[in-house]
Amino acid sequence: MARLSFREQVLRVREDAIVSSVNRLLAEKGFDSMTVDEVAADVGIAKASLYKHFASKEALAAAAMVRVLQRALQAIEAQSAIAEASAFERLRAVTRWTLQVQLAGEMPSLPSQNSTLRATLIADKTYVDLVMEVSERLGEWIVQAQQDGALTSRLPPEVILYTLFARACDPVLGFLKAGGQHSDEKIVEWVLSTCLDGLAARP
Amino acid sequence: MARLSFREQVLRVREDAIVSSVNRLLAEKGFDSMTVDEVAADVGIAKASLYKHFASKEALAAAAMVRVLQRALQAIEAQSAIAEASAFERLRAVTRWTLQVQLAGEMPSLPSQNSTLRATLIADKTYVDLVMEVSERLGEWIVQAQQDGALTSRLPPEVILYTLFARACDPVLGFLKAGGQHSDEKIVEWVLSTCLDGLAARP
DNA sequence: GTCTATAGCCAGATAGAC
DNA sequence: GTCTATCTGGCTATAGAC
């Protein structure tokens, strides 16, 4: 039992290393440009060994998505733990976290059109459950922040939720980072401001 | 001379049909998922004939980008012609146009990571010149709108420009459209509002 | 479960006849 | 310039030895 547990631990560490590589490569190159050979080389094992752990390239991407969603849920729970924070402040903090993850090159980017990938994702109960969980948690905050008068009530919560989700793949961060003129902190605050405050002047 | 001109016209019409197909397929499936075979089938010619007109798949994408940029420039000039419009109103109108094009499935979507594609694009003088032209025209309006007090002065014009450009590939439009609950007009106005007004409540 | 080697496939690009 | 037929390379996935 102790031996088995140890073996399982080794397995988990190995698979965690694989998912880390996949996560970074997906952020760097995107799903289509990432090759399984690269992943194997990056992890330092043979390609065939990869396929003993994950059934397909799509399954690799799904595992990376599951992990980033788990991290997102942790960020959400960290905000829930701050008793004095308002719903709006919590949403802002989680959105900032999302931008930071993307800017750090740790946000996997998947093509929304690829049907094979979509099929693998929606067949993955862990992934679907996590997406639902994150959506519900954020959805509650959105409704609350609207009631507080902190978020606009002129937009349906659904639109606000999607807009926040979309910050995870906002290309503006990459544009500004590529310019090399500004610090990561500045870039994050600017994009956060475009999202929450908008571009039009405020009185 | 008349004969030659006629032949050139036929050629242009044919190439225009190719670019139309490429444009639509790029919007539908993205660059990586689009195949040259599909393009040929869609146009109704053999694949080899395509390669007589365009040197590579990347060149096809570049041609589609050139055309959409030309259309954007037309939209910009249409706004310039409205003497009584403010810079802010012009920016809003052009941004709305961008959202409408994307929602209509006519906005080609290219992966920003693909280096071969990037190389082809920046080697294409027509493409680069058009990007510069559009950027400068919008940049002037942005500075003017900031002076007018209509756009926030807390963000550098560069950040505002990138944010407006990014609306061309905003996934929120697709999410809302996929839901099937709302009219295209509603979706466009909502996303335009998230962009200009932001998510935070306005007094 | 790890490796080497390879099967199988698909897509970009081209040859060569007309 | 258009076609059919084909080449070529790269990528996912697997066979089979250890």
Percentage of chain B lying above the pLDDT 70 cut: 98
Spacing of B51 CA from D4 C1' in Å:
15
Chain B residue with CA closest to A160: the answer is B199
B51 Cβ contacts chain C strand, under 7 Å:
yes
- Residue in this structure with the two tokens 């030659």, named with its chain if needed: B4
Chain A partners within 8 Å of B30 (Cβ): 111, 113
Strand-pair partners of A200: B151
Q: Which of B's residues 56-75 have CB atoms within 7 A of nucleic strand C? A: 56-58
Q: Is the pLDDT of residue B1 over 90?
A: no
Tokens of A192: 């956060």
Q: Alpha-carbon distance A142 to B92, whole Å?
A: 26
For residue A143, is pLDDT > 80?
yes
Please give the mean pLDDT across all residues of chain A.
96
Contact (Cβ atoms closer than 8 angstroms) between residue A74 and residue A95: no
Please tell me the predicted confidence (pLDDT) of residue A2.
55
> Average pLDDT, stretch B72-96?
98
Exposed / middle / buried, residue B185 (Cβ in 10 Å: 0-12, 13-18, 19+): exposed
pLDDT band, residue B83 (cuts 50/70/90): very high
The DSSP result for B19-40, as a single string, is: HHHHHHHHHHHHHHH--HHHHH
pLDDT reading at A100 higher than 70? yes
Partners of A190 on chain B (C-beta within 8 Å) are 155-156, 159
Give the residue-averaged pLDDT of B37-60. 98
- Contact across the interface for A198 and B203, Cβ inside 8 Å: no
What mean pLDDT comes out for the span A174-187?
97
Residue nearest to nucleotide D15 (CA to C1'): A48
Nearest CA in chain B to A29: B113
pLDDT at B3: 60
pLDDT of residue A9: 87
Q: Work out the average pLDDT over B12-24.
A: 96
Domains, chain A, ordered by start? 58-196 (1.10.357)
CA–CA separation, B43 and B54 (whole Å): 14
Closest nucleotide relative to residue A35's CA, C1' based? D11
pLDDT of B7 over the 90 cut: no
CB B44: neighbour CB atoms within 10 A? 9
Mean pLDDT of B18-32: 98
A199 vs B113, B196, B199: nearest CB: B196
The answer on pLDDT for B15 being more than 70 is: yes
Q: What is the pTM of this model?
A: 0.96
User: pLDDT band for position B6 (50/70/90)?
Assistant: confident
Side-chain half-sphere exposure of A189, counting CA atoms within 13 A: 8
Residues of chain B positioned with their CB less than 8 A from the CB of A192: none
Task: Write the DSSP symbol of residue A83.
Answer: T
Write out pLDDT tens, residues A53-79: 999 999 999 999 999 999 999 999 999
- CA–CA separation, A152 vs A100, rounded Å? 24
* Sequence-ordered list of residues with C-beta below 8 angstroms from that of B10, at least 6 positions apart, any chain: none
C14 C1': nearest CA residue: B48
Query: Which of the 8 DSSP states describes residue B123?
Result: T
Asked if residue B200 lies in contact with residue A196, where contact means CB atoms within 8 angstroms, the answer is yes
Quick one: which of A12, A16, A188, A166 has its CA closest to A96?
A188
The rounded percent of chain A whose pLDDT value lies above 90 is 93
DSSP B70-121: HHHHHHHHHHHT-TT--HHHHHHHHHHHHHHHHHTT------SS-HHHHHHH
